[in-house]
Every structure is written in C-alpha cells, then in structure tokens.
Amino acid sequence: MRALLRTLVERLASLRITVVLLVLGMVLVVIATLDQVHLGIWAVQAKYFRSFVVVQQLPGTGVSIPFFPGGYLIGGTLLINLLCAQFLRFNLTWRNLGLHLTHFGIILLLVGELLTGLLAIESHLTLDTGDTKNYAEASFERELAVIDVTDPAFDQVWAVPLSRLARREPVALPGCPLTLLPLQFHENANFFMRSDAPNAPASPATLGFGPQIVVQPSEPTYRPNEENAPTAFVEFRGPDGPVGVLLATLAIERPQTFTAAGHTYAVILRRARIYFDFSLSLLEFRHDKYPGTEIPRNFSSRVRLRSADGSEDRQVRIYMNNPLRHGGYTFYQSGFKNNDRTTILQVVRNPGWLLPYIACVISGLGLVHHFILTLAGFLQRRRASATTA
C-alpha cells in the first residue's frame, strides 16, 4: 500500500507533467486573451479560468463540447504536481533553499488566486457630490428586491438572486405572506413603449408599468460598455390567491409598488446591494488635467467616513493608486460621470488579499537567492578555468 502510494506520488511529481501543465496553462491564457475581443474580460474569466473544463458551443448548433482543460483543472493539477514534487524531493540544503522558496511561493499564489475567485466580491459605489450611502452595488450580481415599506420606521427587504428567477420555480420569502412565481426570465431584452408598437401581443403584466411596455428578449451582450438588462415577469401570490404579475427589469430604475394582505410592497430588479456598517459621503470630486490638454492627470474624491455607531467620523482622500481600506473593504477611485459631479468608487472585499503579497515576497526571496548562488558559482568556475588556462 505504501509502495503503491509512493509510486503514485512519484508519477504525479514528474517534471514531464509539470512541463505539459505549464504549456497547457500557457495555451489556455493565450486563447482566453484572444477570446476577450468577443466575450469581454468577465465572461472570459468564467469560461476559461474559473472552470474545470472549457466548453465551447459549436456555431450554428445548440451542442456544446468540452475542448480544453479549464483554469481550475490545470491550476489544481499543477498544485498537486508541485506538492508531490516538494514532498518527494524535499531535502533542504543551502543550495536548493531558493528553489524551494520559489515553489512554495508559487503554491501560495495559486491558492490565493483560487480564494480570490471564490471569495472576492467586486462592487461599485456611485456617489453624487453631497450624497451619502451605506451600501455598494455589485458589479455583476443582480437581485430582485421585494421591500415591505409599510412600517414607517424601517424597510424589510427580501433579496432574491436572479438564479432563482431563471429556474422558474416558486420562491418563498421567509416571513412574508407573498410567494413569487417567475413566469418568464430573459438575460437581456429590448423595450418599446406599447404606444409605439400597437400590434404587439398583450403583456402578461398586470401591475405597475408593465402593461405599457413591450418586451423583446435579446442575446446577452459582452461588450465592455454595455450592460445586460435582465428582465422577468413575476407573479405574486398572497394568502388569498394571486395578487398580479409584475414586469421587473434592470431597465426600470424605480421600484413599482402594490398592496397585498394589508402591506405595501415595493419591487425592483437592481444591482445586488452590499451594506456596510458605516457610510460614505462625497464632499468633493476633482478631475485634474494637464494644462492645455484633455489628458487626465489625477482623479480624487474627498469623502467623509462615518461609522453607524458614531465611533468614527473622518475625512479621507481617495485617489489614483491610493485606495481607502476600511472594515474589510477597499475603495478605489475607479471613474466619474455627470460632468465631474459624481464619483464611482470600486469596492472590493477580498479576504485573501494578503496572500499574494506574502507569496510574492517568498518567491522573490527564493529567486534572488538562487540567482545569486548560480551567478557566484559561474564566476567561480570562470576564475578557476582562467587560472588553469
């Protein structure tokens, strides 16, 4: 049994496997980079890197075939290969310390990237000058928010992920008398006013703006400057039977309200919200340009940071290459709009953010160590051969 295990580890630790994996990884990175022109950076990450197998739909058919190992598979196998090799050939001497450190650093880097892929949440915080917000809006996730606005003191929110709407199965809202039944769901859609398309079939919607809008499903877009408008027709059912059907779409930026079972509900399909226990207010946004040009020199936001419990209240300047790190979140100056009146901060929560730094230090030390030893050996041999010659 032990012998078998040892053979297995020896096989897995083979340098041949390492080289094959490195080449596969390289090819994966190259084709993924080329595919970015079509899919955009985010879809490419999901398709190639955050997957076990890359699946390609054959053009013109509905058939999808796996055609290349994905990032998780290659990275994972490389990790196993590395671990086995370290385990097998681990004999720590001064000479090979550098190489061990380098490989250990790379193991950490791979683990760090895996953690980032699993745990990091990217979102945006858009603030007009003078505005205050205590939440960020996710960059990619969308949610259907059902908000009970009856109580004058607070709002009760049920946030339904869109994956649940796509399943078209009833969704129960815990603690709420309403149940959702998604009737239709589209990743993206175009819209017309009914008055402009008088011959369109009647809308399934009975509540809110829906009846006046004609929905035309369309292909999802991956272009960098466009956003999909996920759209759903959702039936609400109360304890006494159906309440009505509502058109929810990202393109309608305001909540639609209705009353059921004595409560008033506001419903909106929006970017998923991430609430903080502190708030940020934009005091001033600055956009400096080089004199006589439109070349941006710097963007900066002066914000006021206040914690919910009042223990903290300070001013912070966020600008290019100088983010604010607070409460496990990092706020980066990302963009602006509205004639420089509105700032867009990118908000990232990445519990594994420190790992790459540690990995880099370890790898770097290892490489430098190895390089210096190699160089010293080379020079020594030259000198030796020079004296003998």
Partner 1 sequence: MKRFLPLLAGVVALLCVAVTLVLPKNRDAFDTQGFGRLPVLVGGRLKPLDTVARTSLLLIQNRQRVKTPDGRSLTPNQWLLDALFKPALADTYQVFRIDNNEVLALLRLSPDDGAGGVRFSFAQLAPHLDDLDQQAERAAQLEPPEQNAYEREVLKLRNRLHTYLGLRYSLQLPESADFAAEIIRFEQILPEALAATEAKMAGKSADEALVKELAGFLNKFQLLSGRASMLAIPPPPAITDHNAWSNFGDALLAAFATSRLPQPVRDYAALGSAWRAGDPELFNRAVTALGEHLVGRDDPRLPRTGLEFRFNHAEPFYWAAALYVLVALLGFVSWLAWPDVLARSALWVGIVAWLLTTAGIVARMYIESRPPVTNLYSSALFVGWVGSGLALLLERFFRNSIGNVVAGVLGFVTLLVAHHLQFSGDTMEMMRAVLDDNFWLATHVVTITMGYGACFVAGVLALLFVLRGTLSRSLDSDTAQALLRMTYGAVCFATLFSLVGTVLGGIWADQSWGRFWGWDPKENGALVIVLWNAVILHARWGKLVGPRGFMNLAIFGNCITAASWFGVNMLGVGLHSYGFMDSAFFWLCAFWASQLAIIGLGCLPPHLWRSRAAVEA
Partner 2 sequence: MISLRAPRSVGATIAALALVLAGCREEPVRTYRTSKEKLPPAEMPPAQTAGGELPAGHPPLDGSAAPAPNSGDTAALPPGHPPIGSGAMPPAAGAPTAAAAATNNSIVWAAPDHWVVKPLGAMRRGSFTAKNAAGEADCSIFVFPAASNPLLANINRWRGQVGLAPLAEAHLAAETTSLDNAAGLKFVTVELLGQTGAGATRVLGAILYRGEEAWFFKLSGPDAVVAAEKPAFLDFLRTVQPVHS
Q: Which two tokens stand for residue 158?
A: 């049920």
| Chain residues 110-129 in contact with partner 2, contact rule CB under 8 A | 115, 118-119
In the complex, what is the shortest distance from the CB of residue 144 to partner 1, in angstroms, rounded to a whole number? 27
* Residue from 69, 70, 210, 323 in contact with partner 1 (CB under 8 A): 323
Query: Should residue 290 be labelled a site residue for partner 1 when binding is judged by CB under 8 A?
Result: yes
227 binds partner 2 (CB under 8 A): yes
Query: 38 vs 254, which CB is nearer to partner 1?
Result: 38
In angstroms, how far is CA 285 from the centroid of its own chain? 26
Q: Does 316 bind partner 2 (CB under 8 A)?
A: no
DSSP string, 6-64: HHHHHHHT-HHHHHHHHHHHHHHHHHHHHHHHHHHHHHHIIIIISSSEEEEEPTTSS-E
Q: Does 266 bind partner 2 (CB under 8 A)?
A: yes
Q: How far is CA 375 from CA 102, 220, 384, in A?
A: 17, 55, 14
Backbone angles phi, psi at 263, to 5 degrees: -115, 155
CB of 379 to partner 1, least distance (A): 9
The rounded distance, in Å, linking the Cα atoms of 74 and 28 is 9
Q: At 110, which amino acid appears?
A: L
User: What track of x and - describes contact with partner 2 for positions 46 through 85 (by CB under 8 A)?
Assistant: ----------------------------------------
Q: How far apart are CA 159 and CA 140, in angstroms?
A: 15
d(Cα 140, Cα 105) in Å, to the nearest integer?
Answer: 31
# binding residues, partner 2 (CB under 8 A)? 62
Which residue, 155 or 313, has its beta carbon nearer to partner 2?
155
Task: Give residues in contact with partner 1 (CB under 8 A).
Answer: 14-16, 18-19, 22-23, 25-26, 29-30, 32-34, 36-37, 40-41, 44-45, 49, 112-113, 116, 120, 122, 223-225, 289-293, 295-299, 320-323, 330, 332, 334, 346-348, 350, 353, 356-357, 360, 363-364, 367-368, 371, 374, 378, 382
